Homo-oligomer: A and B are copies of this chain.
Amino acid sequence: MSKAALILFAHGARDPEWAEPMRRVSAALGRQAPELRVELAFLEFMRPSLRECAESLLGDGFERIVVLPMFIARGGHLKRDVPLLLDELRRRHPQVTFELAGAVGEAEAIVQAMAGHALTVAGV
């Protein structure tokens, strides 16, 4: 398999602390899969952008880039804006494979984990 990298792609916010859960996911991945290159990128307010992040990875020789949207659900950003960003990257870098995963909050494992956490906070 070609050399792969993972981008945790989040919305971004004005508050710098907002990115903390994404940094914690990245740190957990660093412990569990130290061979996997993991980067954070943001749609708005924070840097790097998806394109900045992806082109930096291309500069490091990655040929397959998986983008995981760190969104609770799939709205207009993930249905329209992000596919357009990916299409632009594919046009600019046809030798590279870009894969866009679904919103993390829509994955069955995350739905189940959120339900389990909800039971904990409800005291059930």
Task: Give how many A residues have a beta carbon under 8 Å from the other chain's beta carbons.
Answer: 57
Residue of B24, B103, B113, B121 near A68 (CB, 8 A) is: B121
Q: Which of A1-59 contact B (CB under 8 A)?
A: 1, 4, 6, 8, 10-11, 13-15, 17-22, 24-25, 28-29, 32-33, 35-36, 38
Asked whether any CB of chain B lies closer than 8 Å to the CB of A106, the reply is: yes
Contact B25 A114 (CB under 8 A): yes
Contact B116 A109 (CB under 8 A): yes
Contact B25 A111 (CB under 8 A): yes
Contact A32 B115 (CB under 8 A): yes
Contact B118 A25 (CB under 8 A): yes
